[in-house]
Structure 1
Amino acid sequence: MILIPLVIAVLFLLPPLIFVLITLVVCMLAAWEWGQLAGFTSRPQRIWLAIMCGFLLALMMLSVPTYSRAVDLPLMGCSLWLSLAWWLAALLLVLFYPQSAAVWRHSRSLRLLFGLLTIVPFFWGMLALRQCGYVENHFTGAWWLLYVMLLVWGVDSGAYMFGKLFGKHKLAPKVSPGKTWEGLIGGLMTSALIAWLFGHYAPLNIVPVTLLVCSVIAALASVLGDLVESMFKREAGIKDSGRLIPGHGGILDRIDSLTAAVPVFACMMLLVF
């Protein structure tokens, strides 16, 4: 009730530059929390990790014109394609867990790389969608981002409700014992309803079949993003990624689904289609 109005205000009321800076801060906080998942337990190490992540993103951001179809830039396009490859690889890590953990369990470098592959494309996906159609209509990109967020929130909420009511068959018991196949189906049904309503009533200029395909893939990616963070938290022996949001855990606990859904949706809509 508190966060959703704030998110909508950030999307529609703030100029792109301020939006980018807020996204940058969110990514730095996510990097701070990922440090714990990567095995950096001391506070100074994690602070430096957050600072270096912010510095890297800021340097990359300077190469992007203020208002442009930014996805045409090689840096952004490559980041989105790389995200698609990373989440396909992450799917294999989840499917073969805990055997797959033998590859990266004792390697800080690999876990740090996985964090960069999660956070950096998420940053670019947010920028790509926010700048989509900006020249013609300043709010087009805001609508697209709101759509993806509603889609992810719908999957999460639907999966929770259907899982509580009907859940019997575990989805990934070795990674996240609470998730069920019934919950996944319920989450996808909820996101499909949101996609249908949004497609009818929101000003989105896109072929319905394209929207459906992109939405289904993004919804599945959001579930994968949640499972991947759960896998890394399980290996790190922690329940929440942080305590920045009272009652919700850390930043990563709130955006884990979005870190997968946003860049994958942006890649599918802006590059594949």
Structure 2
Amino acid sequence: MLKQRVITGIVLIILVAAGILLLPNELFAVFALVFMVGLGAWEWAGLTGCYMPNKRMAGTMMILIGSLPLIFLPLPATSVLGISVPIWAALVIAVLIYPKPEGFYKHHRLMMRVLGIFVLVPAWYAVMTLHGIQGLPKPGAWYLLYLISLTAVADTSAYFTGRAFGKHKLAPQLSPGKTWEGFFGAVVFGGLWALVSTYWLDIPSEQFIAFIALSKFTVVMSVFGDLFESLLKREAGVKDSGHILPGHGGILDRIDSLLSAAPLFTLGMLWLFA
């Protein structure tokens, strides 16, 4: 299992890095759309009560069709990304009060499916926008790589800090292994990675402090993205969102942190460099 996980991880890193750095923004947008919204919708439908193949396909199509206006209408990036702000504010509360309200998710599965539109599409839009963003010191692709590396550093440091010092459970009903110590470790080491990254990203001194603060907020949101996916899996009674990635589970298992982190980070970068 470990060998399989490592091999899959290496292949993923190579493919994602190559796609980000080599593809023009239009092709990258299609690439990201297929994986984040297409495959993401398939797994989201499975996590929200569509267990049989025909029902799962219907649930997937509902999410995809509902996503079309956000994808194809000529809306400002800030409008599409702004949708995620109240959505994720509500989802953070949902994570913090879980498992209350009792039975809510099982009785509102249609609503949870519709929610997929407003989680998956803004995240994809954020990734696409950041990749093609103009007016930054470096090409947008480098800032997208930074965002992905930031969530990876946060996840890894949370794991090891939690293993070493964790005593206080962060969300025992959702993810028993996560601790407050791990959470603060993620924020600290994420902040350190942001500090180091300001040099290779050529962040101007005027935006230095704001960039570090934005990165720390992004880390916080990445943790809640992870926890909300844990909520969906807990309600569905499954360990992984899918099986498409050997040793890693599904697409949502790999991008859960990005779903919440990408809209916030991209909005912040648009504001910082407007």
1: CA distance between counterparts of 2:22 and 2:259? 23
Q: Tell me what 1:22 maps to.
A: 31
Q: Tell me what 1:131 maps to.
A: 132
For 1:169-188, list aligned pairs within 5 A. 169-188=168-187
What's the CA shift string for 1:196-226, capped at 9, x where partnerless?
1110122345711110121111100000000
Question: Which one of 36, 41, 44 corresponds to residue 34 of structure 1?
Answer: 44
1: CA distance between counterparts of 2:20 and 2:203? 16
In structure 2, the residue corresponding to 1:163 is in which secondary structure? helix
Amino acid of the residue matched to residue 93 of structure 1?
A: A
In structure 1, the residue corresponding to 2:248 is in which secondary structure? coil
Shift of 1:150: 0.8
What's the CA shift string for 1:28-72, capped at 9, x where partnerless?
1011001111111111222344345445555544445xxxxxxxx
**Alignment check: 8 A CA contact 2:63 2:116 kept:** no
2: CA distance between counterparts of 1:51 and 1:102? 26
1:263 paired with 2:272, answer no
Q: 1:63 to 1:113 in 2, by over 3 A?
A: closer
Q: CA RMSD in A?
A: 2.1
Q: Tell me what 2:109 maps to.
A: 108
For 1:85-164, list aligned pairs within 5 A. 85-133=86-134, 140-164=139-163
Q: Tell me what 1:70 maps to.
A: none
2: CA distance between counterparts of 1:256 and 1:100? 23
Number of equivalent positions: 262
Shift of 1:140: 1.6
Q: 1:51 to 1:19 in 2, by over 3 A?
A: farther
Q: Tell me what 2:57 maps to.
A: 47
1: CA distance between counterparts of 2:20 and 2:51? 34
2: CA distance between counterparts of 1:53 and 1:104? 17
1:9 paired with 2:10, answer no
Q: 1:77 to 1:10 in 2, by over 3 A?
A: same
Residue ranges of structure 2 left out of the alignment (5+ in a row) = 1-9
1: CA distance between counterparts of 2:141 and 2:230? 29
